[in-house]
Structure 1
Amino acid sequence: MDAAEALASLMSPQGRVDPYPAYERLRAFGPVVQTGPGLYAVTGYAEADELLRDSRLRMLDGELRDQILPQWRDSPALSSIARSMLRTNPPDHSRMRRLVAGAFTPRRITAMREVVATQAGELIATMAADGRGGSPVDFMAEFAYPLPVGVICALLGVPAADRPLFRRWAADLTGALEPEITPAELAVADAGATELRDYFTELVAARRRIPGDDLTSALVQAHDAEERLSAEELLANLVILLVAGFETTTNLLGNGLAVLLAHPRAADGLRRHPEQAPAYVDELLRYDSPVQLTTRTSGEAVRIGGVELPTGSWLLLLLGAANRDPRRYPEPDRFDPWRALPSPLSFGAGPHYCLGAGLARLEAQVALPMLLRRLPELAPAGAPRRRIRLTLRGYDNLPVTVGEPAPAADHDAPDGRGPGTP
């Protein structure tokens, strides 16, 4: 199998469901390998980290899309992505990012711990009631989706009654983030994007009439009064903030619980020592990243990993492969929450490092120990169903049985950190 065939195996349905064997086939050719004309795959941690920080590399923004797909503006999904800070380059990216960065400062995120713990506790109580008597419950529908969507919707000022709408719309839209997409799949993504843009068009109008203490109102003001956002940028960023605000965390929670249930000794360690949650969450992010890849193009020639990348090269930065680079992580296929190593690349690096990474980590650090402590008999209930996606890796369905909840005296502290946690 040559490098092009190894990449083709990654893009197959089987490779999307379980990409790790394909990553190893690609790694055998080196940390940076050419897989086609002008196309390169990066599996090395050091190489991916360096490239993510290299100012010579660019996102696929509107200007670049004009060169390869001039009709991209006809697609609501591609327009929402290309006009948001997710896929723009400086100076537009820097301008948009500054407008929303205040909602994600470490101080603001720390202040949300109690909110996250309260919501997680309520969802666990609902799971326990629904699973009484041994009935299976779908962890994705009952916990992994509603917790992060509730948190990001609170930041954006989205009414609680509207939150159930977003799971399908977002799932449809994110199909446009895949490295390969068929016309039929793009049509589905466009439908999801249209629903989301229509929703936020109405929310913007409502916040224009009656502003609130939320991020949507702040961005509306940035458009109306300060003109630091165009109308298209306003809608595109609201859509992406919502989708990115829960999709990654939903997948982190689902992937994380599945790994913990498959490693009962490690799960018991987190149950007894919730103060170790930050290390556990970093290892869960490394072991089965909710974001598996990102892309860049080279604005000028770049040499990396002994390979010359000509100007205009396209790069697949395989974050899931980089997180299992044996040069960085000994025995990378072993789940080991006691690794004393720096964080993985699951949230990227450099200028496009995920703005909500701290919030996603907080939600997982609070939720996973609380689940294990309050539901000590939590167990798999049949085969879960993976989404056939590569970029955003997660479950459609993760059935569990909850067993008997722990007595109230055994529950963790109200803030979700457990006794004695600093």
Structure 2
Amino acid sequence: MDAESIIAHLLTPEGRADPYPLYARAHELGPVMPAGDGMVLVCGYEACRQALRHPGLGADLAMMTWGADIDEHPSLALLSRSLLVANPPHHGRLRSSMSQVFTARRVAALEAEIVRTTDALLDGLAEGGSAPVEFMDAFAFSLPVQIICELFGVPTADRHRFRGFAADLSAILELLADPSGLDAADRAAVEVGHYFTALAEARRTDPRDDLVTALVREPDQETRLDDDELVANLTTVLLAGFETTTYLLGNGLHLLCEHPDVMAGLRAGTVPLQGFVDEVLRYDSPVQLSHRVVLADGVSIGGLPVPAGSHVVVLLGAANRDPARYDDPDRFDPHRQDIQPLSFGGGAHYCLGALLARLEATTAFGRLLCRFPALGPAPGAAPTRRDRLFLRGHETLPIVLS
């Protein structure tokens, strides 16, 4: 199996359901390999780190549009204005504006709200008694959407709408997505665009202590976002900050159900909570890949010269299981030393919400396991995964609490 075949198999339902055997095969071929049609596949840990940080590589909008007319697809038009696919010098201006509201201080200020929301959701889980509970619906989707909406200043009554927006919009992130299948994403882009436009206008006249107010009242004319950029980047934060944390929670709990010894160790304090979260990110990352394009000649990745214009597929999920970086990489072990997963990317496009996602995960798992000492998988009810590659996570995860 060569690199082209690996990509082809990753795009099948079977490959999306379990990409890890394909990643193992990629490691046998080498850390970097040509994949035909101007594409390069990168799977080695050090090569992926290099690709993510190399100044000669940038975000690759073309890998997400593939010849589609952006003006005909509101979802792609929205994506094209976002920080996610921007390159210098435009990227620096957008990131400067967005990063000021993702400071460690602002994230730390959310901790009390994360604890309050977590406990309220756990109270809701407890009301079901001994009956099976659908964890993804009842908790994993609800916690991050509540927190990201709190950060935005979205009224409580409106927050239920954002789960559907994010789920539909996530289709635009998929590798080689078919533009003909973007109808739901386009509808979501239009609706969320209208919503954020109205919210931004409200915050101009009625400022609050939230992200939207900070952005619309940015005093620096050089970094202030225009209306289209504001909507696009609020939507990007919604998508990245909600879906990734949801799947981190689901993937983590699924692993705990498969490894009751780890669950017991977390409760006893013999397994470090942060080490557990890091190992979940390494072992079954919510974000499996990233797209890059080579911006200039003279670029090499992992020793392989890569011509300008080449499309680079950075397999984060494969890098996290590189046997050259981790001993026995297919073994889940939260006691590993020096776990440094690439799940939040790297370089200029490192995820702005990484600190928030880690805080939500450590808070949620710590309080969930303390509250329900008999938690386990629901007998006879198998979990299901979403049929996606870029964002890897569960659609359902039935559990029992007692």
TM-score by length of 2: 0.95
* SS of 2:4 mapped into structure 1: helix
More displaced stretch, 218-227 vs 392-401 = 218-227
- Alpha-carbon distance between aligned partners in 1 of 2:157 and 2:166, rounded to the nearest angstrom: 17
For residues 93-126 of structure 1, what are the alpha-carbon distances to aligned partners after superposition, in whole Å with 9 as ceiling and x for unaligned? 1111121223222233233222211211111111
Is the 1:322–1:345 contact (alpha carbons within 8 Å) kept by the matching residues of 2?
yes
- For the pair 1:122 / 2:112, whether they are aligned, the reply is no
Is the 2:53–2:346 contact (alpha carbons within 8 Å) kept by the matching residues of 1?
yes
Structure-2 residue corresponding to 1:259: 255
Q: How much is the aligned-residue C-alpha RMSD, in angstroms? A: 2.0
Identity %: 48
Structure-1 residue corresponding to 2:391: 392
Counterpart amino acid of 1:18?
A: D
- How far off its partner does 1:194 sit? 1.5
Is the 1:223–1:231 contact (alpha carbons within 8 Å) kept by the matching residues of 2?
no
- How far off its partner does 1:314 sit? 0.5
Task: Summarize the alignment of residues 31-110 of structure 1 with structure 2, pairs less than 5 Å apart.
Answer: 31-61=31-61, 69=67, 71-110=69-108
Counterpart amino acid of 1:371?
A: L
- Alpha-carbon distance between aligned partners in 2 of 1:351 and 1:283, rounded to the nearest angstrom: 24
- Alpha-carbon distance between aligned partners in 1 of 2:114 and 2:324, rounded to the nearest angstrom: 36
Any stretches of 5+ residues in structure 1 without a counterpart?
A: 404-422
Counterpart amino acid of 1:309?
A: V
- Alpha-carbon distance between aligned partners in 1 of 2:268 and 2:103, rounded to the nearest angstrom: 30
Counterpart amino acid of 1:85?
A: L
Is the 1:10–1:23 contact (alpha carbons within 8 Å) kept by the matching residues of 2?
no
- How far off its partner does 1:273 sit? 1.5
Is the 1:200–1:235 contact (alpha carbons within 8 Å) kept by the matching residues of 2?
yes
- How far off its partner does 1:209 sit? 2.6
Tell me which of 227, 233, 243 is aligned to 1:231.
Answer: 227
Counterpart amino acid of 1:385?
A: T
Distance 1:170 1:68, change over 3 A: closer
* SS of 1:28 mapped into structure 2: helix
- Alpha-carbon distance between aligned partners in 2 of 1:161 and 1:104, rounded to the nearest angstrom: 24
* SS of 2:101 mapped into structure 1: helix
- Alpha-carbon distance between aligned partners in 1 of 2:63 and 2:132, rounded to the nearest angstrom: 46
- Alpha-carbon distance between aligned partners in 2 of 1:226 and 1:303, rounded to the nearest angstrom: 34
Distance 1:316 1:67, change over 3 A: closer
Tell me which of 360, 363, 367 is aligned to 1:366.
Answer: 363
- Alpha-carbon distance between aligned partners in 2 of 1:224 and 1:52, rounded to the nearest angstrom: 29
Structure-1 residue corresponding to 2:9: 9
Is the 2:257–2:376 contact (alpha carbons within 8 Å) kept by the matching residues of 1?
yes
Structure-1 residue corresponding to 2:376: 379
- How far off its partner does 1:323 sit? 0.2
- Alpha-carbon distance between aligned partners in 2 of 1:367 and 1:102, rounded to the nearest angstrom: 26
Task: Summarize the alignment of residues 206-285 of structure 1 with structure 2, pairs less than 5 Å apart.
Answer: 206-222=202-218, 228-273=224-269, 276-285=272-281
Structure-2 residue corresponding to 1:343: 340
- Alpha-carbon distance between aligned partners in 1 of 2:122 and 2:65, rounded to the nearest angstrom: 50
- How far off its partner does 1:260 sit? 1.1
Counterpart amino acid of 1:282?
A: D
For residues 239-264 of structure 1, what are the alpha-carbon distances to aligned partners after superposition, in whole Å with 9 as ceiling and x for unaligned? 11122111110110011110111101
For residues 269-322 of structure 1, what are the alpha-carbon distances to aligned partners after superposition, in whole Å with 9 as ceiling and x for unaligned? 111218821111111100100000000010123222232211111110000000
TM-score by length of 1: 0.90
Is the 1:38–1:314 contact (alpha carbons within 8 Å) kept by the matching residues of 2?
yes
More displaced stretch, 214-223 vs 153-162 = 214-223
For residues 325-357 of structure 1, what are the alpha-carbon distances to aligned partners after superposition, in whole Å with 9 as ceiling and x for unaligned? 011110101010011114210001111100110
Is the 1:7–1:26 contact (alpha carbons within 8 Å) kept by the matching residues of 2?
no
- How far off its partner does 1:182 sit? 2.1
For residues 194-247 of structure 1, what are the alpha-carbon distances to aligned partners after superposition, in whole Å with 9 as ceiling and x for unaligned? 221121122122222312111111212239977721221011011111221111
Counterpart amino acid of 1:238?
A: L
- Alpha-carbon distance between aligned partners in 2 of 1:393 and 1:78, rounded to the nearest angstrom: 21
- Alpha-carbon distance between aligned partners in 1 of 2:155 and 2:221, rounded to the nearest angstrom: 25
Task: Summarize the alignment of residues 318-329 of structure 1 with structure 2, pairs less than 5 Å apart.
Answer: 318-329=315-326
- How far off its partner does 1:5 sit? 1.4
Distance 1:86 1:223, change over 3 A: farther
Counterpart amino acid of 1:75?
A: H
Is the 2:65–2:76 contact (alpha carbons within 8 Å) kept by the matching residues of 1?
no
Structure-2 residue corresponding to 1:25: 25
Structure-2 residue corresponding to 1:409: none
Structure-2 residue corresponding to 1:305: 302
For residues 369-394 of structure 1, what are the alpha-carbon distances to aligned partners after superposition, in whole Å with 9 as ceiling and x for unaligned? 21111111111121111000001111
* SS of 1:396 mapped into structure 2: strand
Is the 1:223–1:229 contact (alpha carbons within 8 Å) kept by the matching residues of 2?
no
- Alpha-carbon distance between aligned partners in 2 of 1:238 and 1:209, rounded to the nearest angstrom: 19
Any stretches of 5+ residues in structure 2 without a counterpart?
A: none
Tell me which of 161, 164, 176 is aligned to 1:165.
Answer: 161
